[in-house]
Amino acid sequence: MTGRATDRRTEIAIVGGGLAGGLIALALRRHHPEMQVTLIEAGEALGGNHRWSWFDNDLDAEGAELLAGFRKTHWSGYSVRFPAYRRRFDTGYNSLASPDFDAGLRRDLSQQTIHTKRRVEQLDAGGVTLDDGSRISARTVIDCRDAAPSTHLTGGWQVFMGRHIRTPRLHGIERPIIMDASVDQHAPHGTGGSYRFVYVLPLGADELFVEDTYYADAAMLDRNAVSGRIDRYLDAHGLQGDIIGGETGVLPVITGGNFVRHQEDMRIEGVALAGARGGFVHPLTSYTLPFAVETALAIAKDATLPGEQLAAWLEARARKHWARTGFYRMLGSMLFGAAEPAERYRIFQRFYRLNPGLIERFYAGQSNLADKARILTGKPPVSVFRAIGALAGKGEPLVAEKGNS
């Protein structure tokens, strides 16, 4: 629905049609088909221009069912590459592109639910005001817009450029390479240092998605330099082809901060916060999909709560998520503060030698005590003294400079 809206009423208004907002709308549709839900997105398509990937074990049966209707690519395993070794894993891996996310939501949600190309001027506990002056009143408002910069959170950045290509002949890659760190450890211009790896997804017999990724000290992405490195990577592996799509991004890697103060800055009284804006992310990997699925299902189960109560409930849930992901923020501090940029790959090189189940639980944010002990024991890949110093440091505020991507 893209025409001019008149003043109207809905039960739940969701602002932001990205992964979090779209999945909440879908979960509400599945659990409460009679409920009036309005999904408002500023862009032309739901999901923006992104690709989300996850392990089979990241989701329980209910979560997998929520995503079952989307067209996605599935592989029976994946591999990693480091200077010291290569390793294959047999865990199922999945990837979902935003055009398929958009198509799936438009198929399952009603035309009355989806409002694209509608910019929000203001939102409050009682509804949403659009930039054309029209008003959508709501019992509950859920803000799922992108995460906002914060002076209360510290860390580094994950910067990336992905390219979708069609090769002139069969490329022969059967499984994803989710981390190829055998590449030169270049630092993008202005980042001050980084850990670099290349991510390769075989989307078809003659299609590849290749992404150059950096765990960097600064939120800067030199598009020309990174594009050139992708060219050289493809040339080295005989994989050049026609470009049919791509994406870029700069995501925070959170190593510390005052989450309560951050929530206070984000809070609009009576408005619920979900997605990355609400703090539901993996602080080290920047993964959002498992948490977006989990949150969407939880909201659907308590969707009859008054808006103010749902907002308070989600705020408390986000604080619990912050508390249980502290281990990953500690590891992030060690990555950025304890390891020289050119040596950061050694941390991941050691990590990927560990048990496959431990690795999968790590990405899902579900590491148990035994996992944490195993990750921290043995010969450390970084200086112990530098690690102690990194943990004691405050890090840099997660505020990106303008024009950085």
Cα–Cα distance measured from residue 86 to residue 181, given in angstroms and rounded to the nearest whole number: 10
> Count of CB atoms within 10 A of residue 71's CB?
12
Cα–Cα distance measured from residue 256 to residue 395, given in angstroms and rounded to the nearest whole number: 8
For the chain, give the number of residues.
Answer: 405
- What confidence tens digit (pLDDT) does each residue in 25-53 have? 999 999 999 999 999 999 999 999 999 99
Judge contact between 20 and 103, C-beta under 8 A: no
Residue 88, classed as helix, strand or coil, is strand
Residue 236, classed as helix, strand or coil, is helix
Cα–Cα distance measured from residue 350 to residue 84, given in angstroms and rounded to the nearest whole number: 10
- What confidence tens digit (pLDDT) does each residue in 194-235 have? 789 999 999 999 999 999 999 988 888 889 999 999 999 999
Residue 27 lies in a domain: yes
Torsion of CA 321, 341, 215, 364, to 10 degrees: -40
Band (pLDDT 50/70/90 cuts) for residue 400 is low
Q: What is the mean pLDDT of residues 369-378?
A: 90
147 has a pLDDT exceeding 90: no
Residue 42 lies in a domain: yes
Backbone angles phi, psi at 41, to 5 degrees: -130, 135
- Give the chain's mean pLDDT: 89
- What confidence tens digit (pLDDT) does each residue in 122-144 have? 999 999 999 999 999 999 999 99
Residue 319, classed as helix, strand or coil, is helix
Helix/strand/coil percent split, the chain, to 5: 35, 30, 35
Handedness of CA 161, 162, 168, 172 (dihedral sign): positive
6 has a pLDDT exceeding 80: no
| Least trusted range by pLDDT, from 9-18, 215-224, 301-310 | 215-224
Residue 213 lies in a domain: no
Band (pLDDT 50/70/90 cuts) for residue 193 is low
Tokens at 8, concatenated? 């109207």
Residue 361 lies in a domain: no
* pLDDT attached to residue 296: 98
* pLDDT attached to residue 402: 38
Residue 301 lies in a domain: yes
Judge contact between 92 and 189, C-beta under 8 A: no
Domain extent, residue 264, equals 8-50+98-150+256-324
Residue 107 lies in a domain: yes
Cα–Cα distance measured from residue 1 to residue 117, given in angstroms and rounded to the nearest whole number: 9
- Percent with pLDDT over 90 in the chain: 78
Residue 282 lies in a domain: yes
Residue 385 lies in a domain: no
Band (pLDDT 50/70/90 cuts) for residue 185 is confident
Task: Report how many domains make up the chain.
Answer: 1
> Count of CB atoms within 10 A of residue 369's CB?
8
CATH number at residue 124: 3.50.50.60
- What confidence tens digit (pLDDT) does each residue in 159-175 have? 999 999 999 999 999 99
Cite the beta strand spans of 102-221 per DSSP E: 114-115, 120-124, 127-130, 135-143, 150-166, 177-180, 194-204, 207-216
Tokens at 56, concatenated? 């089979």
340 has a pLDDT exceeding 90: no
393 has a pLDDT exceeding 70: no
